[in-house]
Amino acid sequence: MAATNRGTFFSGAGLVWKWQRLVWWVFAVCLIFGFFSTQEMTERAASLLNRSMAAQRLVNGFDVGAITELLQLPDSPLAIQGHNIVHFSMLFVVFMLFATGGILAAYVLDEKPTTTAFFEAAGHHFWRFFRLLIYLAIVLLPIAGLAAASNAIHTHIDEQSISPYSADHFGEAAVVAILMLLILVRLWFDMAQVIAVADDEKKMHRALRRALTLLRRNFFSLLWLYLRVSIIAWVLFGIGLHFWMYHVNPQSNVAAFLLSQLMILIWIGTRLWQRASEALWYRDHQANQAPEPAWSPSPAPMYVPVAAEPQA
């Protein structure tokens, strides 16, 4: 299983590269939606910072303290106050929900994602994935309650404990536990989507049950496959953020824009790498689970020779 997992890991990257037009389409839509969604925020930031001496802390560098102060202002330009960013974010969620069916169909079948086949698969699975989204919201409710309870316990420990580190250690443990739960839920629903596409499963509750059984029986294999791509994504994103903060000239808007878009492109590419690896893993798993043909006796010959009678 480890060798198969390793092969799936690299084959998933090769599949994303082979059908890279899918990455570029998602990136283009993300860029367009991002441009229109940030217009209100840009206008508010310009009206506030164009006449402020504190703007130099952002113009001449990436000052985390300055960004924190901006967030604390009553009319912060970084706060989500307008409707554009909410509307376009929701549109992007709907677009990705629609496009995922076509993307997974291309990865499962490993066929050229033509426009007709892509939109046919996307429309065919859209409402199934929408039902999965409703199930996901229901599953996330207990996790949200757990996060709220952890926050309340953290506040209580911080108020009652003499040591300032007790609350911090509890908060760190709670964050790790909740993050792990979110990863498992995401992997669970990812596999349910793959099952819905690969097997044309119409009932999403059945797809979720099958995905949960699959995840339980192949827990470490699927989790490690998912985490490896996530680690690569976070490392590359961190390297890009480091270059943006310390190596890009603050006056070079073009370089900052290109670097930020490269970071988004890497994020999209690694996410599709996860989906391609999951699709290939499931395809290989189903091929290995194919039952061997049952033994059947060889058919009796239609003509059975009769021994010749001895002659007198």
Using one digit for the tens of pLDDT, what is the confidence trace for 207-220? 999 999 999 999 99
Using one digit for the tens of pLDDT, what is the confidence trace for 271-297? 999 999 999 999 998 888 755 555 555
Which of the two residues, 18 and 253, has the higher pLDDT score? 18
pLDDT at 168 over 50: yes
Name the residue with tokens 């990436």. Answer: 62
Which of the two residues, 29 and 248, has the higher pLDDT score? 29
pLDDT at 312: 47
Q: How deeply is 23 buried, as exposed, middle or buried, from its count of CB atoms within 10 A (0-12, 13-18, 19+)?
A: buried
CA distance 263 to 237: 6
User: What does pTM read for this prediction?
Assistant: 0.81
pLDDT at 47: 62
pLDDT at 79: 60
DSSP string, 132-185: HHHHHHHHHHHHHHHHHHHHHHHHHHHHH-SSTHHHHHHHHHHHHHHHHHHHHH
Using one digit for the tens of pLDDT, what is the confidence trace for 36-67? 877 776 666 666 666 655 556 565 555 566 66
Sign of CA dihedral 216, 220, 222, 223: positive
Domain boundaries, the chain: 7-288
pLDDT at 139: 95
Nearest by Cα to 136 from 205, 37, 62:
205
Question: Mean per-residue pLDDT for 162-185?
Answer: 87
pLDDT at 38: 77
Which of the two residues, 35 and 15, has the higher pLDDT score? 15
Nearest by Cα to 197 from 267, 301, 279:
279
Name the residue with tokens 């073009």. Answer: 254
pLDDT at 257: 87
pLDDT band, residue 71 (cuts 50/70/90): low
Tokens of 245: 């903060």
pLDDT at 291: 58
Question: Mean per-residue pLDDT for 164-182?
Answer: 87
Per the prediction, the chain carries an average pLDDT of: 83
Question: Mean per-residue pLDDT for 90-100?
Answer: 93
Using one digit for the tens of pLDDT, what is the confidence trace for 121-152? 999 999 999 999 999 999 999 999 999 999 99
**How many C-beta atoms surround the C-beta of residue 207 within 10 A?**
24
pLDDT at 86 over 80: no
Using one digit for the tens of pLDDT, what is the confidence trace for 189-243? 999 999 999 999 999 999 999 999 999 999 999 999 999 999 999 999 999 988 8
**How many C-beta atoms surround the C-beta of residue 101 within 10 A?**
24
CA distance 263 to 268: 9
CA distance 207 to 191: 8
The H or E element that residue 85 is part of is helix 84-109
For the ranges 105-109, 170-174, 199-203, 244-248, which has the lowest average pLDDT?
Answer: 244-248
Question: Mean per-residue pLDDT for 166-195?
Answer: 92
User: In sequence order, which residues have a C-beta less than 8 Å from that of residue 277 and are 6 or more positions away?
Assistant: 8, 9, 11, 12, 13, 225, 226, 229
User: In sequence order, which residues have a C-beta less than 8 Å from that of residue 284 and are 6 or more positions away?
Assistant: 4, 8
pLDDT at 103 over 80: yes
pLDDT at 123: 94
pLDDT at 158: 80
The CA-CA-CA angle for residues 70, 72, 78, to 5°, reads 45
pLDDT at 9: 87
